[in-house]
Amino acid sequence: MSKKRWLSGPSIRPDPITAGMTAADLVDTAYLAYNGGRLREACELYTQKMLADDALVGMSLTGALTPAGIGMTCLIPLVEAGFVDWIVSTGANLYHDTHFGIGLEMHRGRPHLDDTVLREAGVVRIYDILFDYEVLLKTDAFFRRIMTASEFQKEMGTAEFHWLCGKYVAEREVALGRRGTSVLAAAYRMGVPVYTSSPGDSSIGMNVAELELRGNKLRIDPARDVNETAAIVWDAKSGGGKSGVLILGGGSPKNFVLQTEPQIQEVLGLEEAGHDYYLQITDARPDTGGLSGATPGEAVSWGKVDPEKLPDAVVCYADTTIALPLLTAYALDRHPPREPRRLFDRRADMYDRLVAAYRETAGSREPGEIVDAG
């Protein structure tokens, strides 16, 4: 192979950092190699390809991001700019996000504190974030109060559930003069569907369970979520568009955004190739076998990522609280706002299209027949 081919990349001879340099210019100038280089590639992939007019962006959220203020600094600006089209989050992120929207506070502290003393004082700690135990009780009371409303008395998926919750949080934001503090409220206003892959695994789910003991009729349907998220991806891809995933951390939400493609291909038997764009920020290693550290190459073997699109896959090994603010600043500086897709409003239509495609395919095979993915 030609030596010239391997040495065709730009020369590493950057200009010095100067006073007043924007975050986007800093990334382009100084983030040239190692995980700095991967962060620059992530910024370029996001702004140059994933935010194209024909591409949808699904985001997954894990880790205690909203307590750290990431919701207000990054997630809400991305949602309001039309840079995120659908979300899968841990319930914990949405629960803690609600604190801010209903007028409660969290505080910066220190990580090396005596937790026994904090417990006696009625203070809860998330590493170096501190808040009053009453914040939990008041947030629980808020959710239990709204979930007794008539519109909650039925079975629904988590997108509808979170949309209804977001409506009430948005009303509280306005009443308190705190608009712009809650991701749930911003997603409600922008029509961005928000799912959670483990509805019972958070304080929100715990309060749903408590109300069930009282006879409340709210039921969460996980199967609806599986098919609804697959419908979002199917609608984009079957219509000639592209699908990208922005994965913050890993865990169950990572799998949930990615499993849309195996659901389409492996389970429903529809012809598809995988997500087109893969961008992950994680601190998890791949060699432990956990999904959080699994690479996009491994995802290809499951049908989650289109093998022809692996050049458009970036993994940045970094703390999300460090990398995401830079990615957000870069995107807002380098790309104009997009018209919101308002996928929440289109859920029923996309779902019906997926069902129609599945029934057409299912009608050509016997129940239990193995579908040849090859």
Q: Tens of pLDDT along 175-216?
A: 999 999 999 999 999 999 999 999 999 999 999 999 999 999
The pLDDT score that the predictor gives to residue 303 is: 83
Average pLDDT of the segment spanning 108-119: 96
Q: Is the pLDDT of residue 371 over 90?
A: no
Confirm whether 369 is domain-assigned.
no
Give, in order, the Cα–Cα distances in Å from 131 to each of 63, 68, 97, 293: 17, 12, 13, 31
Q: Is the pLDDT of residue 370 over 60?
A: no
The 123-126 sheet, strands edge to edge? 107-108, 129-132, 123-126
CATH of the domain at 215: 3.40.910.10
Average pLDDT of the segment spanning 265-285: 93
The pLDDT score that the predictor gives to residue 208 is: 97
Q: Is the pLDDT of residue 47 over 70?
A: yes
Confirm whether 334 is domain-assigned.
yes
Confirm whether 365 is domain-assigned.
no
- Say which range, 1-5, 9-13, 89-93, 108-112, has the weakest mean pLDDT: 1-5
Sign of the C-alpha dihedral, residues 156, 160, 165, 167? negative
Dist. CA 221–CA 205, nearest whole Å: 12
Confirm whether 92 is domain-assigned.
yes
- Say which range, 81-85, 194-198, 338-342, 365-369, has the weakest mean pLDDT: 365-369
Q: How confident is the model at residue 369 (pLDDT cuts 50, 70, 90)?
A: low
- Say which range, 32-46, 252-266, 299-313, has the weakest mean pLDDT: 299-313
Confirm whether 240 is domain-assigned.
yes
Q: What share of the chain is helix, strand, coil (3-state, %, to 5)?
A: 55, 15, 35
370 and 263 Cβ atoms separated by less than 8 Å: no
Q: Is 274 left (phi over 0), alpha (psi -120 to 50) or beta?
A: left
Domain limits for position 195: 31-360
Active site residue 49: no
Confirm whether 58 is domain-assigned.
yes
Dist. CA 230–CA 365, nearest whole Å: 21
Confirm whether 114 is domain-assigned.
yes
**Total number of domains constituting the chain:** 1
Give, in order, the Cα–Cα distances in Å from 51 to each of 56, 250, 301: 7, 22, 26
Dist. CA 60–CA 33, nearest whole Å: 26
Q: Is the pLDDT of residue 147 over 50?
A: yes
341 and 235 Cβ atoms separated by less than 8 Å: no
Dist. CA 161–CA 144, nearest whole Å: 13
Which of 237, 254, 304, 309 is catalytic? The answer is 304
The pLDDT score that the predictor gives to residue 373 is: 44
Q: How confident is the model at residue 301 (pLDDT cuts 50, 70, 90)?
A: confident
The pLDDT score that the predictor gives to residue 374 is: 41
Confirm whether 15 is domain-assigned.
no
